Structures are given as structure tokens and as C-alpha cells.
Amino acid sequence: MSAATQITVVARWQLADNALSEVLSALGKLRLASLEEPGCLGYEVYQSMEAQHHSLLLLERYRDNAALDAHRQSAHYQTLVVGRILPLLKDRRVEFLQARDPA
């Protein structure tokens, strides 16, 4: 596995009012299931420290594009993200990053 093939996903979610506890509950299940995937190298969830901002930041790392595709097609992603979480978001921004050697 080369660092140049690894994919880092940075997802910024703005939650609807009163959705935080439900989203965090679903994210707990999603994180555990994702970390069981052979191509998932890391999955971290951060919450904004500003009380008036109901926002989350997710940092996910995958071995390569195939591992990321497998994650997005998994039953847990479809059930938890597509089925439960996305309807509770006001805004969602996702960035896909790949490591590069600056030399």
C-alpha cells in the first residue's frame, strides 16, 4: 500500500436543529462498521465547540479508491448515511484528498 493511493475524506456536515443526538447515534454505529471494512484506515468524528453551530467534521481514510467505493456501497453506509443521516442535514460538503510528494 502506497501513501499516494490513500484517500482522505473530509466531510463537513451542518445539522438541522435538534438533530445532533440522532446523528451522533447513527454515526457511532457507522464508525464502528466502517472501521471493520478491510480498506478503512481511520474514521474520526469532531463536533464544533461553538454551541450555536450544530456542525460535525468527519475525517476518514481509505486504502485506495476501491476501498472508498466499497464503503459507499456498503449496507451500513446506505442504511445509516443515506437513509438516516442525510435527511437530518442542512448542508453537506465532502472533499476527497490524496497524498502527494511535494518533491
Question: Which structural domains are found in the chain, ordered by start?
Answer: 7-98 (3.30.70.100)
Q: Quick one: pLDDT at residue 100? A: 81
Lowest mean pLDDT among 1-10, 39-48, 56-65: 1-10
Asked whether the beta carbons of 26 and 80 are under 8 A apart, the reply is yes
For 56, other C-beta atoms within 10 Å of its C-beta total 20
Mean pLDDT score, 50-73: 92
Mean pLDDT for the stretch of residues 58-80: 97
- Provide mean pLDDT across the span 61-75: 97
In this structure, what C-alpha cell is assigned to residue 83?
A: 437513509
